[in-house]
Structure 1
Amino acid sequence: MQQLSEFLVTQKITPMVNRYLVTTPEGGTVLAFAEQKRLALKERVTLWRGEDRTEEICTYRARKVMDLGPTCDVTGRDGEAIGSFRKDVRSSLLRSTWQLAPEDGLPAVGTERSGGVAIARRIGKVADVALPFTVPLPFVFHFDFVRQDRPVLSVERLWGVRDRYRVQIHDPALDRRLALALSVALDAFQSR
């Protein structure tokens, strides 16, 4: 898996959990499977090699209960630290910003690619609260993670009914398990 430079994350919507399927870019080979419980007090998601859940790849776990700017630690199946990621609440007021900290490397910062889409998403959320009906606006957002002005990782939401993301890894040293965990978490946390 460490040789992959691109993969596709697809959310499968079910009543009580969000399910994520990670595949090769053309959607063929299954690389990972994850489930995220909705309304969990403390986020914990395990990524498995497949839907049969026989081989664990990694787990990400929030450090605190019900945190607006969650920090999640990513560990391997044997409990070894892989890295962490967190939402930077202050920087996210206008444009969502995330910090990615690999255990064995320099941190990277990820921001929404388009400031205009970021502002439009926030206006849409205010409209949902203020209006007596929901305004279905499927915003497509993209995140670019950089370290010292060099691209590390890109997560691009694709158009469609279901949430789908193309994940491109630009830094060959980045642990793919950390990229997988962050990609699933971005959908879960950004959709809240």
Structure 2
Amino acid sequence: MSENNFLVRQRFTAIINRYEIWKVDAEWNQTTLLGFAEQKRMKLREEIVFFTDDTKTHVLFRFKARNILDIKSIVDVFDGPGQIIGTFRKDWAASLLSSTWYLEQPGRPTLKGTERSMVYAIIRRFTDFGFIPYNFDYKTPDGRQALDITRKFGLRDTYRCTVDAPEYDTRVLQAVAVAMDALQNR
């Protein structure tokens, strides 16, 4: 198991999406809080800020959509001081059947993320059952696995994130993992 693996756990709240990002051991037990993320709902431009913890005193990084309510919008990931460290975007045409995302980071090959099961993807488009698996594989152009995001069944959304390409910035990978829940309206 990679030391870069992490767990994303959604907190229950009525108005705001909140997430905890945890470092994990070999059995996927939470060991160290890596960050706390918060998204206010009903904003015209999607934005989530990642803090060191829920006191929200120190910003680690953030992501923000470039455009307002644009289905083709690119989402930029910024470090604490505000420099872009990566981007991701949804391929809306391909996502009609199976959600497809692209993650870009300067100096690295573009990763393509797709839902692992076309059958589950299609079923999910016609039902609202929360127990249907929701899993993504992000791969390099040559087919090498870079990031695996697996949703675990439970009362709150929890995602196991397996990092197979440690050369990618963990903050960008954590941002896209949270986006899989927040921006997919999970």
Same fold (TM over 0.5): yes
Q: Which runs of 5+ in 2 are unaligned?
A: none
Matched with 1:129 is none
CA distance in 2, matches of 1:86, 1:17: 22
> Secondary structure of 1:24's match?
strand
Q: How far is the alpha carbon of 1:91 from its aligned partner?
A: 0.7
The match for 1:48 among 48, 51, 63 is 51
Structure 1: 4+ residue segments shifted above 3 A: none
Identity among equivalent positions (%) equals 37
Map 1:16-165 onto structure 2 (within 5 A): 16-25=15-24, 26-124=29-127, 136-147=129-140, 148-165=142-159
Residue matched to 1:131: none
Q: Is the 8 A contact 1:63 1:72 kept in 2?
A: yes
Deviations 1:122-169 (A, max 9, x none): 111xxxxxxxxxx54432211000002111111110011101000111
Shift of 1:78: 1.3
More helix by share: 1
1:13 aligned residue: 12
In structure 1, distance between residues paired with 2:101 and 2:132:
18
Tell me, in whole angstroms, the C-alpha distance in 1 between the residues paired with 2:61 and 2:104: 16
1:181 has 2:175 as partner = yes
The equivalent of 1:130 in structure 2 is: none
Q: Unaligned 5+ residue runs, structure 1?
A: 125-134
Name the SS for the 2:31 alignment partner: coil
Name the counterpart of 2:162.
168
Distance, in Å, in 2 between the alignment partners of 1:70 and 1:140 is 26
Task: Give the Cα separation in 1 of the matches to 2:143 and 2:114.
Answer: 13
> Is the 8 Å Cα contact of residues 84 and 103 (structure 1) preserved in structure 2?
no
Q: Render the CA deviation track for 1:101-140: whole Å, top value 9, x for unaligned.
A: 012311110000001100100111xxxxxxxxxx544322
